[in-house]
Structure 1
Amino acid sequence: MNIALRQHIEKITSLTDAEFEYVESMFTRKRLRKHQFLIQEDSEVLNDYWVVSGLLKAYHTDDDGKIHILQFAMEDWWISDYQALNNHTPATIAIDCIEDCELLVLSRDNKEKLCNELHSISDFFRKKSSAGYVALQQRILLLLNKNPQERYNRLFKLQPILVQRLPKTLLASYLGVSRETLSRLNHP
């Protein structure tokens, strides 16, 4: 039994042992090495991923070759290209491993089956989706309305472990600043 996954789900909803065994049976395991792709732009996306261990980044590469980091995912976080997964369209982002990773993989079909059969799991994913939307909205507003120092302070306050694990070049990219600007920011 994956105790960490059960604890993660039960932060939001309760499951009986039998329900959790059923939920867990819908997942498969995947291991990736540092720098391996989980998803590449323009590929088909069939799965949602829960991070057991490791660190990943989701990003888009623009027409000029510039990388725009949308999010990171570490232990106990979910990651996928949700636009592609939900709309059955090609991936618009890439996701690769910053560290070696172990993931639990939930296919779109199995997720749909679980949500149809277990109200508690449907509720879990609804709440996770809402929380993800709120986090994305907050990130956009920070980029629009706050200076680099304020963005750095906010990230450090909310995710100090993540900040410590990130290479400075990726942290700078995520904050929308150059590596040189990042080095001038004051540590909160």
Structure 2
Amino acid sequence: MKEKLRRHIEENISLSDEESRLIASYFSFEEYKKKDLLIRQGEYVQDCYFIVSGLLKLIYQDESGKEHIVSFAMENWWESDFSAYFTKSKAKMSLQCLEDTKVYALSLENYQKLIAKMPKMAYFFLEKSNSGNTAAQNRIISLLTLDAQEKYQQLFEQNPSLFQRVPKRLLASYLGVSRETLSRLQH
């Protein structure tokens, strides 16, 4: 399992075997079942997660109880309520497993120790952060400017596997359309 984390990191920086072992020592391996919550809205966020296997959804529940899907996260992605994680505050969102999931968890304390001990990991995390910010901005722009058909097409082109792994009602929620509209878009 740790080999998967190493390969992922080596997409951005090179690692010696010793560096790889050091990095791995800062992470804890965790397994979750479908429907388990890794983060609960309103509670403090302990970790950010590298997803080894499985699928999660990051959700915001509004005051009326309606669930809004912020993102889906799958293998080789990082996920958390990053605002709460980095500010040591209570989560505004929940992170829930849609499948049985295996992750490497990294506490903020270990994150800070790791980048202090190995500065090139700061570069790695900066690259991941930049990619995440770019994706978030692109999602906001698509929500503001694209019609339902265009949002559907964009999601299908970017993440075709979601259409096999995620129930239609969740895809519809993520796209901001009704389930009936999603069914029409699929034909």
TM-score normalised according to structure 1 size: 0.97
CA distance in 2, matches of 1:177, 1:171: 9
CA distance in 2, matches of 1:96, 1:162: 15
Quick check: 1:155–1:163 contact (8 Å CA) kept in 2? no
After superposition, the C-alpha distances for 1:59-83 in whole angstroms (9 at most, x for unaligned) are: 1011111111001111111111101
Partner of 1:128: 128
After superposition, the C-alpha distances for 1:6-30 in whole angstroms (9 at most, x for unaligned) are: 1100111111111010001111111
Structure 1 counterpart of 2:66, one-letter code: K
Partner of 2:57: 57
Partner of 1:160: 160
Partner of 2:99: 99
Per-residue deviation, 1:162: 2.2
Unaligned runs of 5+ in 2: none
Q: After TM superposition, which residue ranges in structure 1, 4 or more long, deviate above 2 angstroms?
A: none
Give the 5 Å matches for 1:1-188: 2-186=2-186
Structure 2 counterpart of 1:27, one-letter code: F
After superposition, the C-alpha distances for 1:87-130 in whole angstroms (9 at most, x for unaligned) are: 11100001111011111111111111111121211100001001
Q: Secondary structure at the match of 1:57?
A: strand
CA RMSD of aligned residues (A): 1.0
Per-residue deviation, 1:136: 0.2
What number of residue pairs does the alignment pair up?
187
Per-residue deviation, 1:186: 3.8
CA distance in 1, matches of 2:95, 2:26: 22
Per-residue deviation, 1:163: 2.6
CA distance in 2, matches of 1:67, 1:12: 35
Identity %: 45
Quick check: 1:33–1:100 contact (8 Å CA) kept in 2? yes
Per-residue deviation, 1:2: 1.6
CA distance in 1, matches of 2:132, 2:162: 17
CA distance in 2, matches of 1:27, 1:162: 27
Q: Secondary structure at the match of 2:35?
A: coil
Q: Secondary structure at the match of 1:160?
A: coil
CA distance in 1, matches of 2:17, 2:103: 22
After superposition, the C-alpha distances for 1:24-75 in whole angstroms (9 at most, x for unaligned) are: 1111111111111111111111211111111000010111111110011111
After superposition, the C-alpha distances for 1:159-188 in whole angstroms (9 at most, x for unaligned) are: 11123211101100000001010000046x
